[in-house]
A and B are shown apart, each in its own frame.
Chain A
Amino acid sequence: KAGVTQTPRYLIKTRGQQVTLSCSPISGHRSVSWYQQTPGQGLQFLFEYFSETQRNKGNFPGRFSGRQFSNSRSEMNVSTLELGDSALYLCASSLATASSYNEQFFGPGTRLTVL
């Protein structure tokens, strides 16, 4: 099976712009989670989608949003970019069901640089 894919791999934006990142999960996985990874804060959970519904949400401002499509592909959007949004954004998919969780499989990440 193909792994989790994320596009683009690298992005450079300027403050105030917005950005959309895309994630295609492993075939058959209905749960998609997003994480922000920075050297100072480590891995921080953004949100999780399951069957097109946001199931969990971390402590990020409303500038960070996401969605999931019927084919389980997911996008996350960051509006009004700030310098502090520079990070590696990781997407993870899993075979989680409506009532259980399983291990997550991560994509290679999108490296976002905000200038």
Chain B
Amino acid sequence: GAGVSQSPSNKVTEKGKDVELRCDPISGHTALYWYRQSLGQGLEFLIYFQGNSAPDKSGLPSDRFSAERTGGSVSTLTIQRTQQEDSAVYLCASRTSSGPGEQYFGPGTRLTVT
């Protein structure tokens, strides 16, 4: 079956521009996570959605970052007024609601801010 998909796979943007990153989770997965990974580093938790509950936004690094999940499926991570330090790979993962359960990762979006 289809796995987690993310788009775009690569994004180059100028400093100060806004970007939107999209994640399509596996169908039926109610939990969705966004992570950020800088080169050679581990995964930095950004935000977690579970069903209709309020998302856990505790990992968002600043108010320039926001995310939403429409209809309990597709999620969009928005970064406003991008900065060079936002350059990283942004990974999305989903899992079933019955936890703990393994997370299935998408291929990521490589964001480069010039």
The finding on whether chains A and B are genuine partners in a shared complex, rather than unrelated, reads no
